[in-house]
Amino acid sequence: MKGLGADAPYWQALQQGQLKLQQCSDCSQWHWPAVWRCGECGSWEQQWREVTPRGRIYSWTRSHYDFGAPKGLPLPYVSVVVELAEAGNLRLLGHLAANSDKQPAIGMAVEGELFHCEVDGESIPAWRWQPGNTTTEAAQ
């Protein structure tokens, strides 16, 4: 299990069902992947803020071949890069829920749910994204 890197708080929060992302205490720049030192202002003071797992699809692709995907992920699967407005448009990688009958589209509102996937016999918490409802899309 990860836990020794700059991203350790991300994984600890995930174990508790929360999405926490890193923000510079001095200049408010969001960081992902996590950093020890801010690349914008040079500060060593980074804080972790809870963020609502809700965003928009920035990019997506459909995979028809199992490139060593987590066990139990049905083919084909859709990988998504989700942009989080609440976290300075930081982007997270994940996949679109297989039970979604909506076609993925750039800009589509999505909400994340936590699940555990199995990779090399290890259970790892990850985000699975569901298309949001249309009222959410209209409101933003």
State the minimum distance, in angstroms, from the CB of residue 94 to Zn ion.
26
27 contacts Zn ion (rule: CB under 5 A): yes
38 contacts Zn ion (rule: CB under 5 A): yes
23 contacts Zn ion (rule: CB under 5 A): no
Structure tokens at 37: 């030192």
Stretch that binds Zn ion, among 8-16, 28-36, 70-78, 111-119 (CB under 5 A): 28-36
Structure tokens at 28: 């408010």
State the minimum distance, in angstroms, from the CB of residue 29 to Zn ion.
5
Instruction: Quote the DSSP letter at residue 3.
Output: -
Would you list the DSSP string of 17-83?
Answer: T--EEEEETTT--EESS--SS-TTT----EEEEE--SEEEEEEEEEE-S-SSPPBT-PSSEEEEEEE
Comparison of 30 and 115: residue with beta carbon closer to Zn ion: 30
Q: Which residues contribute to the site for Zn ion (CB under 5 A)?
A: 24, 26-27, 29, 38, 40-41, 43
